[in-house]
Amino acid sequence: GAVVSQHPSWVICKSGTSVKIECRSLDFQATTMFWYRQFPKQSLMLMATSNEGSKATYEQGVEKDKFLINHASLTLSTLTVTSAHPEDSSFYICSTRDRGRVFGYTFGSGTRLTVV
């Protein structure tokens, strides 16, 4: 089946710095990537949908200037958390449609971001 590789799996950064999270589709072309955020003991919240070669579509309430999404190729989508603050500490996870299966979505393994 399809595999999405997400890196890093965890990162600790200082307040005010930026962090980039990468999701690569290893054996298929991901034209669309979904980015989610999950706070402890809460569910996945969709942040944005990225499409290869075009601007991302952000969900209501998500700051597009703070969470920069780039989907420059069919195999790579990145999320950059800019000027990170402790309240940005969360679990970030990407997902894409697995067109090889009728009802398949493939998830990355997630990134635990801690801002200190």
Partner 1 sequence: GQNIDQPTEMTATEGAIVQINCTYQTSGFNGLFWYQQHAGEAPTFLSYNVLDGLEEKGRFSSFLSRSKGYSYLLLKELQMKDSASYLCAVRDGGATNKLIFGTGTLLAVQP
Residues that bind partner 1 (CB under 8 A): 32, 34, 36, 41-46, 49, 51, 57, 91, 93, 95, 97, 103-105, 107-110, 112
74 closest CA partner among 92, 95, 51: 51
For the CB of residue 53, give the shortest distance to partner 1 in the complex, in Å. Answer: 14
For residue 23, CA distances in Å to 76, 87, 93, 108 come to: 6, 23, 9, 7
For residue 31, CA distances in Å to 16, 25, 93 come to: 32, 10, 17
Give 14 or 41: the residue with its C-beta nearer to partner 1.
Answer: 41
For the CB of residue 94, give the shortest distance to partner 1 in the complex, in Å. Answer: 9
Give 24 or 82: the residue with its C-beta nearer to partner 1.
Answer: 24
88 closest CA partner among 55, 49, 62: 62
For the CB of residue 19, give the shortest distance to partner 1 in the complex, in Å. Answer: 18
For the CB of residue 16, give the shortest distance to partner 1 in the complex, in Å. Answer: 26
